[in-house]
Amino acid sequence: MKKLLIISAILLFVACEKEAPITLTLANSSMMMYNKDKNNIGASTNSTNPITYTTSNKWIASVDATGIVEAGVLGTAEITVSNGISSKKCNVEVKPKFTSLPEPYFNFGATRTQIKSNVLTGKLYDLSTALVYAYNEGNNLTAFNYYYLIGTDGKLMAIGLEFSILSSYATNLSGYITERYIPLSYSGTNFYYINKEQNMAIDVDLTYNSSGTVTIIFAPYTGTPVLKSGISYQINEAFLKTLEIKIDNK
């Protein structure tokens, strides 16, 4: 009888050992990061299966086979960690480090009234082909203009941002662009990007001349890095018209 009890106890112990729950733990279940930061999720499991990692958006947060997360452009993404039996999520938020420039009103197709209702800062110059918002006029190191270009249908077709290459904004321009947009190509002094949704193209034009300027053009993405050639011309025309208004008002 004693032998039978001992054998039963051993079998019960072995059964309990076999039925030990499979665990999956994360050292980091959420992360707040800046562009190009790296951090390890720190996943561990008692399963013999390998741990796998997948991201909901590789442009915001990429992850390698060891659980190292690298921050991309601004936004939030989920990293799914799995041991083949269960899974857990690591929430990643990529926050901005460079915030010196106000974000444009990105709503292509908006009417003049909608633009004016949503852009509440800057001195407005209401032109026939553009709404120009000027900031910090009179100081070359802090002044810049936003151009909301209006198409023949009366709706927003593109946005231009222009400031001096000597401006304090130019110092952090690289960081400002790369933490928001994905590089696409370049040609000469023009650098082309897209946003993470890939529905908007960005053209950064560094023009070196006696009045060196930086122009950034935002427009709907058409599948080609070359934006509409007329947009730069329209920005220049709006700049000259704004300048005329300033001179006339003196």
Tens of pLDDT, residue by residue over 177-200, are: 999 999 988 888 888 899 998 899
Domain boundary among 39, 60, 94: 94
∠ Cα 185 176 202 (to 5°):
35
More confident residue, 242 or 66: 66
Same domain, 244 and 125: yes
Co-location of 66 and 126 in the same domain: no
Specify the residue for token string 């910090």.
136
Return the structure tokens found at 122.
């800057």
For residues 238 and 134, the model is more confident at 134
The number of C-alpha atoms within 13 Å of 153 and in the hemisphere containing its C-beta is 8
Query: Is 107 inside a domain boundary?
Result: no
Pairing of β 190-194 and β 182-187: antiparallel
Q: Which of 94, 120, 144 is the last residue of a domain?
A: 94
- Look at residue 203 and tell me if it is in a domain: yes
Number of domains in the chain: 2
15-19, 158-162, 188-192: least confident range: 15-19
Q: Indicate if 149 and 239 belong to the same structural domain.
A: yes
In a domain, 230, yes or no: yes
What is the model's pLDDT at position 244? 65
Say if strands 213-220 and 156-164 run parallel, antiparallel, or are unpaired: antiparallel
Whole-number pLDDT of residue 160: 92
Answer whether residue 213 is part of any domain.
Answer: yes
Q: What is the reported pLDDT for 167?
A: 83
Do residue 65 and residue 187 come from a single domain? no
Q: In this structure, what token pair is assigned to residue 231?
A: 């947009």
196 with 89, same domain: the answer is no
Residues 138 and 37 in one domain: no
Q: What is the mean pLDDT of residues 171-182?
A: 91
Which pTM does this prediction carry? 0.79
- The percentage of residues in the chain with a pLDDT greater than 70, rounded to a whole number, is 82
pLDDT band at 227 (very low <50, low <70, confident <90, very high): low
Q: Report in angstroms the alpha-carbon separations of 225 from 109, 137, 213, 221.
A: 21, 32, 21, 8
Answer yes or no: do 120 and 226 share one domain. yes
Three-state helix/strand/coil letters over 25-67 = EECCCEEEECCCCEEECCEEECCCCCCEEEECCCCCEEECCCC
* Residue 118 binned pLDDT confidence (cut-offs 50, 70, 90): very high
Residues 117 and 239 in one domain: yes
**Residue 62 structural domain:** 22-94
**CATH code assigned at 84:** 2.60.40.1080
Q: Residue 28 pLDDT more than 90?
A: yes
Give me the amino acid identity at 171: T
- Model confidence at 243, pLDDT cuts 50, 70, 90, reads low
The pair of structure tokens assigned to 94 is 């990529």
Residue 60, in any domain of the structure: yes
Residue 137 has what pLDDT? 84
